[in-house]
Amino acid sequence: MKLSRLPPGFGLDTAAQGLALREGAVQNVSREWTDAGWRATGDVQDAGTTYHASVELTPPPDPQLRASSCTCGRYRCRHVAALVLATDPPPTPRPAAIPAAPVPRATEEALDARTQQWLASFQEQPGQTRGRQFELRYLLRLLPPASGGGSRRVAIQVMRVPVRGDLPDLRGAERYSVPRTLSTAPGFVRRDDRILRLLEMATAPAHEPGRYGEELYALTDHPAGDLLIDSLLGSGRLCWERADQPLRRGPELAGELAWASDARGAQTPTLIAPHVPGAVVLPVTPPWAVQPDIAELSRLGVNASPDQVARFLSGPSLAPAQATALAHAITASGLNLPIPQTVQVREEDLPYTPQLHLMGRTATVYVRDGWARRPETRVFPAAELRHAYGGLAVPDGAASSGPTLYRDGVLTRVTRRPQQERDASRDLHLAGFQRLEDLYQGDFTLPGDLGDLLSLDGDDAWADFMREGRHALEAQGFTVLLHPDFPLNFAQITDWYGHADDSAGGWFTLDLGIVVDGQQVSLIPVLADLIARQPELFTPEALQDLSDDETITATLADGRRVALPAGRIRAILSVLVELNLRDLPPGPLKLPLLDAARLAELEGAVQARWLGAERLLDLGRRLRDFGGIDPVRPPQGLNADLRPYQLQGLAWLQFLRQYDMGGILADDMGLGKTVQTLAHLLLEQESGRADRPSLVVAPTSVIGNWQSEAAKFAPSLRVLTLHGKDRRASFERIPQHDLILTTYPLLPRDLEDLAAFAYHLVILDEAQNIKNSKTAAAKAAGALDARYRLALTGTPLENHLGELWSQFNFLAPGLLHDERTFRELYRTPIEKRGDPARRTALAARVRPFILRREKRDVARELPPKTEIPVRVTLDGDQRDLYETVRVTMQGRVQEELRARGLARSTIAILDALLKLRQAVTDPRLVKLDAAAGVQGNAKFDWLQGNLPQMLEEGRRVLIFSSFATLLGHLEPWLKAEGIPYSMLTGQTQDRQEQIDAFQAGRTHVFLITLKAGGVGLNLTAADTVIHYDPWWNPAAEDQATDRAYRIGQDKPVFVYKLIAAGSVEERILDLQGRKANLARAVLDGGLSDATQLTAADLDRLFAPLEDEEDAGAPSAPARAELRS
């Protein structure tokens, strides 16, 4: 709906309200053409009530309003406006006009605004808010007497309050300046036209002292003042001091004229309500009284004429010495006026004490801004000298003869001592105090009531005074009194304390604070706030330049200041600055356990009483004197020669264990994270610390790899694989094993059984699988009971920082705070604003817990070529497909053998082996109906998880397969991932272009078939080779690898061989090692008499797919290393 569709004749308020009604509120619309245009009728829903509206308009394109009506009773109301805005002319063509005799009719004119307002006033109830966006409220207040003297004044402040539905939203109340011209004001202002005109007549502009920005209306003696109060009370929107305290009309109260005495015995004419305790009498004529406790405003009835009341209240303040004379005069005249209390005056000489009152004063000042001045509200630290005589005080410079005390009709007058008062004023001047007006002269003009107050020149001068000058003045006889609003109130430190707790494991909590007024006050949030306010003053360089005897001023939560010696807090400031911890969550500071060395520094610098920190302090001292991670000897039971960087990794894992911490081993793929972890487990076993089993959670596709690596490198470890349909029978065997293997999909399902045991170490392989903290696997991993936790991944961070938080939430919950706090402190500033300081802070926080070596870092330690067998596990429907193909092919081979014999069955055997190889390589290669719906694809899953990681590391990859069709299946995925690739098969026409693109770096992956690219290529741009499906002829496989590993190659080459664990692929590899001639004959396509397959060989080749517990175990342990 658009307002442009609305014809003239509707007020702006009405149009806006019609637009606010949703289009769905207009229902049951009917339209018809008329002789003069068209008519529409409909029902309009408004605040739960249905109104029936009708309207007549002239035809388009320039419709004019002819007539309207609505059951709400208002003229041209918002319901009619909503009907017009929601309705189009009838869809049928307009019929031709029928000539008719002219009928005289009255011409309708739009009502002017005044008439509309008059009509609406009959239907509007007081307090009604329906359809309005705002309403005005009027706050009734009492102001101090004007600077010229006199009584207190009654003032009114205008507030604008939003209206939500039919109710005012008092939380949104704000001061409102009434427009000068009411005729053009918004509707909610024009609604109070009568009240606002009375306000203009019966008030004068005013403000509270020091608050010139607040626009108030002080009631004058204008006769319209009483009508104004009565009208405001009748509106239901007159409030006492706050917008949420509306006043209602109360019964008339009895009032009396009286005399009110002040502390000096002076008496002032006043009006009281003697029978209503707590009533506040408003000094207006006729008088009113407020009862704040019951929110009532009542007229005050006085047994005197209004003129007599007004004249009595305008009387002067009566000095004590005149009270008796005035009492006699009133009595003699016979006037019906109250008699002032007679006063006895007594002179007294009391001891003198100068008082220095320290306070805060808020004022609006006008600050120079170029050629103009702009208002600015400031809080000034101020001091006032008062001369006290026996507890009675007078301000410095007061012309009074002396302080007085009035009690029970007796006025005690104290004799002042001018010389001692002058001496006190001189002492303050020597202490550095100056008049505020002199201090800020030229900067801005202060209000008159502030200019004569005293102050010091800046916060540093105040800090010196509060630390030393205050005591010097007190030694001279001054009493220094701090008011609650004094902004530079310095707290006195009586002690320092420190508290540390390392019970959470992997990190510790630290609190450092001071004792003020017997209460412990943590300095961590105080100093963090200080850094956040002035980061440029707290850089590492600035902290280094601070001398120990310098003072840093900070603000406590209650507003008091505190002076902190730089020498004591430099160390903790360095921690906060280095970690960029400016916005801290509530509670103590959480630090990695490796930061305990900082605790040792704090111990010497802060000189505090440390609570519960003995063990941490001892650890901190050891870490402070730490010379590096001690090298470790590899375990005796490890069947591998660890390279130097792998020995360093093992030492790092042992270091984490020593200090009860978890971490992420984030080495590049192919650098041996698994063998380092196995060596760590063996060391724990051999030392006797591993008195519980350890649990590895890994992707399904690499479970077989863990089995084979454990059997090869750590044969003494008793391995239990919890996988497959029959795994539940194995749970009770967990305590009898050293290493338990399970998968991410099974972890949540088996959590209840797994959580029944405690583990020495829980290891997450490919830990990016828990990058989403809300997944079942991430939650289940965190629920496991373990002494130590370890994550293995080459990509701890793939997409966003939330992935890093999720992994550390497993390793050390709380180290990176809760997820919301982590997002506020790190993720949002780094990811959305690129904040380098936050990035540095996060890196400093996690650095001790991540060990990452890239291939280029350890290139000198790597051999020219490293071969890495990768065993993937067939699962689910791919496993079922393999078994289906195996059973079928085994039957055919057996029939062929019975009919033709082994020598003449070569083709049948090779065809059967081909189909088994296709089933494990990619089910899409199998041309059977049973393969059409298979979802599992173990090797492709491995490639999807690892190839992007390799490319992120800058690696260039060759993927070899003996199946050209398979490479075609990889193409759509590479395109979807945006990975540029080359491809070389027997069908490739632009062979050299594909090679040049890869060598020049325009493509990062090269798909090659054995026959097309196994020989004759020079692809030294590649440093990674993936054999997707094994080539049973080792020479052919080596030739393919040598496309990258050849003269001119200046990088180490990594060769990955994907093998389906427990399948025909692994068995032929076994045959390849034990019966090289036989395997070569099989794979070369011929079986000679010298290499006949035995029945046992065929049974082995066509045996069922082995469970993971049995797959990959060598027949006998052999010392091995990564083949190079």
- Spell out the SS3 assignment of 279-296: CEEECCCCCEEEECCCCE
The lowest-confidence range among 511-515, 876-880, 887-891, 1048-1052 is 1048-1052
15-19, 306-310, 831-835: range with lowest mean pLDDT: 15-19
Mean pLDDT of 369-398: 79
- Residue 957: its pLDDT value, please? 92
Helices 596-606 and 566-578: crossing angle in degrees, nearest 10, is 160
Rounded mean pLDDT of 789-813? 84
Please report how many Cα atoms fall inside a 13 Å half-sphere around the Cα of residue 317, on the Cβ side: 13
3-state secondary structure of 934: coil
Question: What is the reported pLDDT for 863?
Answer: 65
Q: What is the pLDDT of residue 609?
A: 63
Q: Between residues 730 and 594, which one has the greater pLDDT?
A: 730
Angstrom distance (rounded) from CA 283 to CA 262: 18
Q: How confident is the model at residue 399 (pLDDT cuts 50, 70, 90)?
A: low
pLDDT of residue 569: 74
- Which amino acid would we find at residue 1024? T
Q: What is the pLDDT of residue 1014?
A: 54
Q: What is each CA distance from 908 to 380, 895, 904, in whole angstroms?
A: 100, 10, 9
Mind listing the pLDDT tens digit for each residue in 568-623?
A: 777 677 767 665 555 555 666 666 666 665 665 665 555 566 665 566 666 666 65
Residue 1104, pLDDT > 50, answer yes
| d(C-alpha 212, C-alpha 81), whole Å | 44
Reported confidence tier of residue 121, pLDDT bands at 50, 70, 90: low
Of 151-155, 560-564, 631-635, 866-870, give the range with the top mean pLDDT. Answer: 631-635
Contact 237, 246 (CB under 8 A): yes
| Cβ-Cβ contacts under 8 Å for 202 (sequence gap 6 or more) | 219, 220, 222, 224, 225, 227, 228
3-state secondary structure of 521: strand
User: What gap in Å lies between CA 741 and CA 79, rounded to an integer?
Assistant: 72
> What distance in Å separates the CA atoms of residue 151 and residue 271, rounded to the nearest whole number?
11
Percent of the chain with pLDDT over 70: 79
Tokens of 310: 């007004």
What's CA 218's distance to the chain center, in Å? 47
Tell me how far the alpha carbon of residue 399 is from its chain's centroid. 60
pLDDT tens-place string over residues 76-95: 788 888 888 888 888 888 77
- pLDDT of residue 1050 exceeding 70, the answer is no
Instruction: Provide the residue ranges of all domains of the chain, joining segments of one domain with +.
Output: 3-97+109-121, 126-248, 250-317, 347-482, 495-608+615-624, 644-860
Running DSSP on this structure, what letter comes out for residue 826?
A: I
pLDDT of residue 101: 45
Q: What was the pLDDT predicted at 859?
A: 61
Q: How far is CA 949 from CA 610, 668, 669, in A?
A: 47, 9, 8
Residues 6+ apart with CB under 8 A from 247: 140, 233, 238, 239, 240, 290, 295, 296, 297
Q: Is 207 helix (H, G, I), strand (E, B) or coil?
A: strand
Above 60 in pLDDT, residue 473?
Answer: yes
Task: Give SS3 for 539.
Answer: coil
Cα separation of 472 and 832, whole Å? Answer: 54
CB 620 within 8 A of CB 600: yes
Q: Which residues of 730-740 are buried (b: 16+ CB within 10 A; e: fewer)?
A: bbeebeebbbb
Q: Give the residue among 268, 270, 272 at the shortest CA–CA distance from 254.
A: 272
> Is the model's pLDDT at 1055 over the cut of 80?
yes
More confident residue, 510 or 769: 769
Query: What's the CA gap between 422 and 349, in Å, rounded?
Result: 18
Grouping H, G, I as helix, E, B as strand and the rest as coil, residue 240 is strand
Flag whether pLDDT at 22 surpasses 70.
no
189: Cβ–Cβ under 8 A, 6 or more apart, which residues?
Answer: 136, 178, 179, 182, 196
H helices of 688-818, where? 703-713, 746-749, 751-754, 776-782, 801-811
Using alpha carbons, list the distances in angstroms from residue 706 to 271, 419, 1118.
Answer: 96, 96, 17
**What is the pLDDT averaged over residues 278-307?**
88
Kindly tell me if the per-residue pLDDT of 280 is higher than 50: yes
Instruction: Answer left, alpha or beta for residue 528, where phi above 0 means left and psi between -120 and 50 means alpha.
Output: alpha
Q: In which band, very low, low, confident or very high, does the pLDDT at 23 lie, cut at 50, 70 and 90?
A: low
Alpha helices in 534-641 (DSSP H): 540-545, 566-578, 596-606, 614-624
**Structural contact between residues 211 and 191, judged by C-beta atoms closer than 8 angstroms:** no
Name the pLDDT band for 458 (thresholds 50, 70, 90).
confident
> Position 564: which residue type?
L
pLDDT at 350: 84
- In 782-923, DSSP assigns E strands to 786-792, 850-851, 865-872
Q: Which of 656, 640, 997 is nearest to 812 (CA)?
A: 656
Q: What's the mean per-residue pLDDT of the chain?
A: 79
pLDDT in tens, 1062-1079: 888 887 777 655 544 443
Torsion of CA 253, 259, 260, 264, to 10 degrees: 180
Q: How far apart are CA 852 and CA 1036, in angstroms?
A: 35
* Residues counted in the chain: 1124
Q: What is the pLDDT of residue 142?
A: 87
Copy the structure tokens of residue 763.
């290891």
DSSP assignment of 1043-1070 equals: TTSSTT--S-EEEEEEEETTSHHHHHHH
Helix ranges, 388-520 (H) = 418-430, 436-439, 448-451, 459-464, 470-475
Q: What percent of the chain has pLDDT over 90?
A: 16
Measure the CA–CA gap between 914 and 596, rounded to whole angstroms.
Answer: 61
DSSP per-residue string spanning 160-182: EEEEETTEE-GGG-EE-PPPS-G
- pLDDT tens figures, 961-993: 988 899 999 999 999 999 999 998 878 878 778
pLDDT of residue 656: 85
Over residues 334-355, the pLDDT tens digits come to 777 888 877 666 777 888 999 9
Asked if residue 742 has pLDDT above 90, the reply is yes
Query: Does position 130 have pLDDT exceeding 50, yes or no?
Result: no
Please tell me which residue, 218 or 606, carries the higher pLDDT value: 218
Number of neighbours of residue 486 by Cβ within 10 angstroms: 23
CB 6 within 8 A of CB 84: yes
- Determine phi and psi for 958, rounding to 5 degrees: -105, 130
pLDDT higher than threshold 80 for residue 626: no
451 versus 267: the higher-pLDDT residue is 267
Q: Report, as an integer, the average pLDDT of 725-739.
A: 89
pLDDT tens digits, 803-858: 888 988 888 887 777 888 788 878 888 878 877 877 877 887 777 788 888 777 77
pLDDT at 250: 92
Residue matched to tokens 């193409």: 971
Mean pLDDT of 150-173: 83
Residue 741: predicted pLDDT: 94
Pick from 463, 467, 434, 468: which is nearest to 451 by CA? 434
Q: What is the pLDDT of residue 792?
A: 92
Q: What is the pLDDT of residue 496?
A: 80
Q: What is the pLDDT of residue 295?
A: 92
Region 301-314: mean pLDDT is 82
What lies within 8 Å, CB to CB, of 569 at 6+ separation is 523, 527, 552, 605, 606
Omega before 59 within 30 of 0, i.e. cis: no
Scanning 122-203, the segments in alpha helix (DSSP H) are 187-190, 193-202
Token reading at 1069: 């590899």
- In this prediction, residue 120 carries a pLDDT of 56
Asked if residue 1084 has pLDDT above 60, the reply is no
29: burial class by Cβ within 10 Å (0-12, 13-18, 19+)?
middle
Cis, bond preceding 274 (omega within 30 deg of 0): no
Q: Tell me, which fold does domain 644-860 have in CATH?
A: Rossmann fold (3.40.50)
Provide the pLDDT confidence category of residue 38 given band limits of 50, 70 and 90. confident
Mean pLDDT for 225-233 is 91
Average pLDDT over residues 882-889: 85
* Greater model confidence, 545 or 434: 434
pLDDT band at 106 (very low <50, low <70, confident <90, very high): very low
Closest CA to 269 of 352, 417, 150, 440: 150
